[in-house]
Structure 1
Amino acid sequence: MDWWWGRGRSRRRVGGRLRKQLRRRGAIVLVFVVVGGGLWTYGERGIYDRMSWMGVPARGNSWLALHRVMRNDGYLVGWSDVRISPLWVSYELTPVRYADIPPRPPFKQDWRTLWPVATSSYRHSGYDRGHLAPNYAIAAVHGPAAQQGTFLMSNMTPQKPDLNRRLWQRLEEAVMDHFVPRFGRLQVITGPIYQDDIIVGALNRVGWTEVPTSFYKILVVPGESPRALAFVMPQDVAGDEPLSDYLVSIDDIEALTGLNFMPQLDPAMEAALEAGVNISGWGVEEVSSLPGRFD
């Protein structure tokens, strides 16, 4: 029996040593996970800050503005799992770097969205798959790999054809052909605006995706003395209206969306930049009534 008792004590000692080793290794793994996760979060935050001047758009007072940030090559998306739609996209534009633009790639479903927004979701709906981060501008500035990401369904919103193919297209052309060359660098934030009535909005969907009533685009020239220009365009347009008809303040868009744009701005600068409409220096009159490329 002594030999059996000795073996039992030996086993317990070995088991105790093994448990200590496992606990020690587990603690080391936990440290690596915590530190690595912290470094990854810090790194991602740095990338977000570089891709969205003065901070990514934040939720204001409305719970309907809850969203999570998804990163793509060339642009960020604020994705809503309630609207099943992007609430905003943010990207930086500079003069053209890639002159040879590849053909338009196919639309792709985004596995990161909780709900399956398929490439065929808009079929027979009467709505276009409207890009928020535009194909041409992202491809010309950020390259072919970034262009592929603009065809993810997480970058699409239901847009009526006369808005998507005409008025909105004309605004995108003015941004890339006129405003970027004029200033050299632009921060763009763009997205949809939804119904005030939650029930009506919940029922008005294309597939899973809620249909917006209108769309906004905010243009910012970053710097110590920044300037901004903002537009809101409704779904029901003819397409040939002057762009200047749709100028608004950033404060107006924040009230309509429940979002806080450029949350890291100094309050005094925020008030000066966001409270009014100031077209001085933009040359809006030069492009306001230009026809689109496809008109």
Structure 2
Amino acid sequence: MLKNLKRILYFSFLGWGLLACSKEESVAPKGDNLAMGNPSEAGTDFANYFVQKAQYTLSYNSYKGTPNWVSWHLSSAWLGGAPRQDDFRADNSLPATFYRVLSSDYTGSGFDRGHNVPSADRTRSDSDNSATFLMSNIIPQAPNNNQQAWANLENYCRKLVSQGNELYIIMGQYGKGGSGSNGYKETLANGKVTVPNRIWKVIVVLPLGANDVARVTSSTRVIAIDTPNSNNVSNTWGNYRTTVDAIETKTGYNILSNVPDAVQSVIEARVDSGPTS
């Protein structure tokens, strides 16, 4: 009952929130990037600020200089031949009162500019790919975490798409302090950017179809991982599988809030045991 009430309040807010908060004009292909729900009920709070772009949706924390979470849809409609733009830059669509993180804030830190929505998930057009390089989509990520375990998981997600699936992906982070190539750090840029301690991702796997949320059942494959933000992680992402329930306990979020409660109770308690490559 509480979850249903929250959904009603959320959609009431969303009607005006989409106008009040940041937007990026474009026409998105099939799939609602926020279909599975607004995990933190993001709105206008500066620590939980709702940002909708054509390519993804996120909750931004202006005090940490990073997203709390980012949500996106991935299907073949999003994939094409656009090259990697590599145009890391401040997100000037954020409110003027926010510190707009710069690419140079990460220079020499020992942490990668870690994408939430990967560049390779948005290759339909140059503009779609470029949107992934906004610093509002970036977190300080340990290089081995980003380039090994995380890259392997991202590649596997695109493999699932090539096999005829569409995915709904929510990625986030929590805690403070990680270990990059230059050792342990809690913040960058004189405290303007918080280094997360843990990085998580939830992936809902569906065969292609319509009415996506309605098609999520108790047998739907849901992959949840939670990794330390460390250079010492395994390159096998499957070693970090957990439950959605466990991530919700750590973050306080309701990650799949638009899915019926009875289905949530099953799929959020299950640790994925499917293939990893």
Task: Confirm or deny that 1:261 pairs with 2:255.
Answer: yes
- Change in CA separation of 1:277 and 1:132 when aligned onto 2, cut-off 3 Å: same
- Give 1:221 shift: 2.3
SS at match of 1:154: helix
DSSP 3-state at the match of 2:90 = coil
- Partner in structure 2 of residue 110 of structure 1: 91
Write the deviation string for residues 98-145 of structure 1: whole angstroms up to 9, x where unpaired: 432224231111120501311200111111111111001122xx4321
Asked if 1:217 is matched to 2:198, the reply is no
Structure 1 residue corresponding to 2:131, chosen from 141, 149, 161: 149
Provide the rounded CA distance (Å) in 2 between the counterparts of 1:265 and 1:137: 24
Indicate the SS of the match to 2:146: helix
Q: Kindly provide the amino acid, as one letter, of the partner of residue 167 in structure 1.
A: A
**1:132 corresponds to 2:116:** yes
Counterpart for residue 152 of structure 2: 170
Query: Which residue does 2:4 correspond to in 1?
Result: none
Q: Residue type of the partner of 1:50?
A: D
Within 1, Cα distance between the matches of 2:38 and 2:167? 15
Q: Does 1:182 align with 2:163?
A: yes
Q: State which of 161, 164, 186 in structure 2 corresponds to 1:204.
A: 186
What is the identity, as a one-letter code, of the residue corresponding to 1:125? S
| Alpha-carbon offset, residue 40 of structure 1 | 6.3
Q: Which stretch has the larger CA shift, 119-128 or 255-264? A: 255-264
2:76 aligned counterpart, secondary structure: coil
Aligned match of 1:233 in 227, 236, 244? Answer: 227
Q: 2:275 aligns with which of 274, 283, 288?
A: 283
Gaps of 5+ in 1: 1-36, 197-202, 288-295
1:92 alignment partner in structure 2: 73
Q: How far is 1:84 from its partner?
A: 2.1
Secondary structure (helix, strand or coil) at the match of 1:121 reads: helix
What is the distance in 2 between the residues matched to 1:283 and 1:262?
A: 22
Note if contact 2:36-2:168 (Cα within 8 Å) is conserved in structure 1.
no
Q: Offset of 1:184 from its aligned partner?
A: 1.5
- Percent identity, aligned pairs only, is 26
Whether 2:176 is the aligned partner of 1:195: answer: yes
SS at match of 2:161: helix
SS of residue matched to 1:268: helix
- Rounded to whole Å, the distance in 2 between the matches of 1:246 and 1:65 is 31
Deviation at 1:83, TM superposition (A): 2.1
CA distance in 1, matches of 2:47, 2:18: 23
Partners of 1:97 and 1:251 in 2: CA distance:
29
> How far apart are the structure 1 equivalents of 2:17 and 2:203?
31
RMSD of Structure 2 on Structure 1 (CA): 2.8
| Max Rg structure | 1
**In the TM superposition, what whole-angstrom CA distance separates every residue of 1:233-283 from its partner, at most 9, and x where no partner exists?**
11224455322110000011111222111212221111011112132xx42
| Structure 1 residue 74 corresponds to structure 2 residue 74 | no
- Distance across 2 between alignment mates of 1:38 and 1:254: 27
Residue by residue, what CA displacement relative to the aligned partner does 1:23-48 show, whole Å, maximum 9, x if unpaired? xxxxxxxxxxxxxx859659x9xx9x
Q: Output the amino acid matched with 2:116.
A: L
Segments of structure 2 that go 5 or more residues without pairing to the other structure are: 1-14, 178-184, 207-214
Other structure's SS at 2:265 match: helix
In structure 2, how many angstroms separate the alpha carbons of the residues matched to 1:85 and 1:134? 15
TM-score normalized with structure 1 length: 0.70
Structure with the bigger percentage of helix? 1
Q: Distance in 2 between matches of 1:143 and 1:116?
A: 25
**Pair 122,38 (structure 1): closer, same or farther in 2 beyond 3 Å:** closer
Displacement of 1:167 in angstroms is 1.5
